[in-house]
Structure 1
Amino acid sequence: MKRIWPVLAVTSLGVYGAYRKYKDVTRLIKPTWPEVRHAGEVEEARAAHLPKPIANWLETIGAVGQEQVMGIYVKQVGWMKTKPDQEEWTESTAEQYSFVEPPSFYWKARMKIDGLFVTGSDSFRDGRAGMRIRFAGLVPINRAIPDGKRDESALQRFLMEMVWLPGLAFSPYVRFFNSSERFVEAEMSYNGSTANVTFEFDELGRMKRARAMRYKDIGEEAKRLPCIAEVHEWQTMDGIEMPRRIDITWIIDGKPFAWYKFTVEQASFNPRVPDAW
């Protein structure tokens, strides 16, 4: 019996050491959140230097003459499917903070799967993506380790969400090209990753649809797939028109897979992230 204790002690130390190493690696994923960097009013002359559809969009939604939206908080009520063959939608609630500078977002959701509550978070900060899933909000199911494909996909998502971050149009990390009356392409390069998104505008000049080639999964076999965000309803907040209902769809093997549909129930501009986050 006495001989077993040294073995158990060494084994325990090894397990603890591996756990601490894992914590050190994944700790980098959870960011500390910035204060909003106020950038003053959106001036018409400055907006006029942007591609025509972007300038028209800022004018149409009422952003010109208002303080730049450099950050946003949204509360979402939505429905998800994790697999294309899933028949039932899973109801979820989510909250998200996003910031133009430094480019970052943090989204956390709560849903009920097979009668059990699962919480998840998705984040992007300093060019790094993070993801965490917990059962009952306590027991970790999955905790993502940094990965280049995940970082790129998170940046793609961030750029696609320019629709509720108008201040991103003026970011030094973003450039526009191939502009036409109803379309414009955008490229964003940040901390080693590059995102490319095509924005489509409706007849009123509102940003209707965003399309990007994103990694849905990671690993050696992962490939970029078309990802589409489409706005179906709008609402006005503090004088600026913002999306209210959005669908997110992946195109897999040529077939659309609508995996997330949500409605923005609450929103505020240029918020401060609570310490609890």
Structure 2
Amino acid sequence: MKTVFTLLILLHALIHLLGFVKAFQFAELKDFPLQISKPVGLFWLGSAMVLLTTGFFYFKENPYWWLFAFVGLILSQVLIISQWSAAKFGTLPNLIILVVAIISYAQFNFEKKIAEEIRETLPSSDPLLPLTESSIQHLPISVRRWLQYSGVIGRPAIQSVYMQQSYQLKLKPEQKNWYTANATQLSVTNPPSFVWSVDVQMMPMLYAFGRDKFVEGKGEMLIKLLSLLPVAKDGYNPQFNEAALQRFLGELVWYPSAAVLDYIEWKEIDNNKAEATMTIGQTKGKGVFEFDDEGKLLQFTANRYMSSGADAIKKDWVVRTLSYKEFNGVQLPNKCNATWVLESGDWTWALFEVDSVVFNIH
């Protein structure tokens, strides 16, 4: 579709270039019926040049291509209106380009908003001390094994982690086919917070762009169709705040050194299980981590709100580890799935893979 749309812009630009050629009589264009003066011909040339630039920038995925599109469309449509009887069909490609440019502009603004939230979320506190064998002795035995296996003992503590992720999603239990998605996430351990953005490809030419965040014990979610039309918004209520906190807690395995921080209280269940309770301000939540004898996470389970409001109910939410991978010397789960346990049966709604990891960005 990218190539097709680029060709549409370039073809539209070349037609405008014919107006310039006709005005200056560089060629005899019998099938181009417009009568154009030389001064107006320069405007046809200008419109063609702006549209050619638009096509080039769009193909190169320049984030500002829409700016040139708006300028080119204004010039183009004014010229078309001045020759309406012969040139009115040029309005159709202008409308197509306009719709795509508006969507791109909305995407640009949404991504700009997320980038600002990421900048505001980056850690500003002093670096955390590295973990030592003595600093983890108060933790359950399974948690100690996990921290040792992860390789974070003696290393600089993880204060932030930026990840790129690939997803397969089912947004409803009855959905048969998976949606493909790409996501990025910044997580900060002190103070605990995350900003997650996702681009979900639902079908050709139809996608949804969303953002989840958890800051100061409060969660918020926003999803827009084509980055333009809000289709889901929730947050800043006790149920959603708790659910977002539990997500942060479950993702502790991506920033293991946070296990010793004061906002988490551990309780040993047995040699391979431990319950963690996390408290931030008025928001509190818990979950159970299960590890194997080597120290690898097997799964995280939390009784979690599926929605918010007075009628919100809790269901078991299970994240299972499918494989591990080393990132910058730290062993992390890199493939997982997430499942809601429902009366009608398990709903595995997400399969995801961590593609890249950067620790302690500033």
TM over 0.5: yes
- 1:269 deviation in Å? 1.1
Q: Does 1:223 align with 2:313?
A: yes
- Aligned-partner Cα distance in 1 for 2:343–2:254: 30
AA matched with 2:284: T
- Comparing 246-255 and 118-127, the one that deviates more: 246-255
- 1:206 deviation in Å? 1.4
1:246 corresponds to which residue?
336
The total of aligned residue pairs comes to: 243
Q: Cα 1:59–1:222, aligned 2, differ >3 Å: closer, same or farther?
A: same
- 1:240 deviation in Å? 1.1
2:285 corresponds to which residue?
195
AA matched with 2:164: K
RMSD over aligned Cα atoms? 1.5
2:221 corresponds to which residue?
131
1:162 corresponds to which residue?
252
SS at match of 1:217: coil
- Aligned-partner Cα distance in 2 for 1:57–1:98: 20
- Aligned-partner Cα distance in 2 for 1:196–1:208: 17
Structure 2: 5+ residue runs without aligned partners?
1-116
TM-score (norm 2): 0.65
Q: How does 1:107-126 map to 2 (within 5 A)?
A: 107-115=196-204, 116-126=206-216
Structure 1: 5+ residue runs without aligned partners?
1-29, 273-277
Q: Cα 1:36–1:208, aligned 2, differ >3 Å: closer, same or farther?
A: farther
Deviations 1:127-184 (A, max 9, x none): 1111111122233333335211000100011111111111221111110113321100
- 1:36 deviation in Å? 5.7
2:123 corresponds to which residue?
35
Q: How does 1:61-76 map to 2 (within 5 A)?
A: 61-76=150-165
- Aligned-partner Cα distance in 1 for 2:328–2:299: 23
Deviating 4+ runs (over 6 angstroms): none
SS at match of 2:270: coil
Which structure has more relative contact order (CA 8 Å, sep 6+)? It is: 1
* Conservation of the 8 A alpha-carbon contact between 1:214 and 1:224: yes
Deviations 1:69-118 (A, max 9, x none): 12211111110001111000000000001111111011100011233021
Q: Does 1:60 align with 2:139?
A: no
AA matched with 1:93: N
- Aligned-partner Cα distance in 2 for 1:232–1:144: 30
* Conservation of the 8 A alpha-carbon contact between 1:70 and 1:166: no
If you compute each CA radius of gyration, which structure gives the higher value, 1 or 2?
Answer: 2
* Conservation of the 8 A alpha-carbon contact between 2:121 and 2:188: no
- Aligned-partner Cα distance in 2 for 1:94–1:142: 17
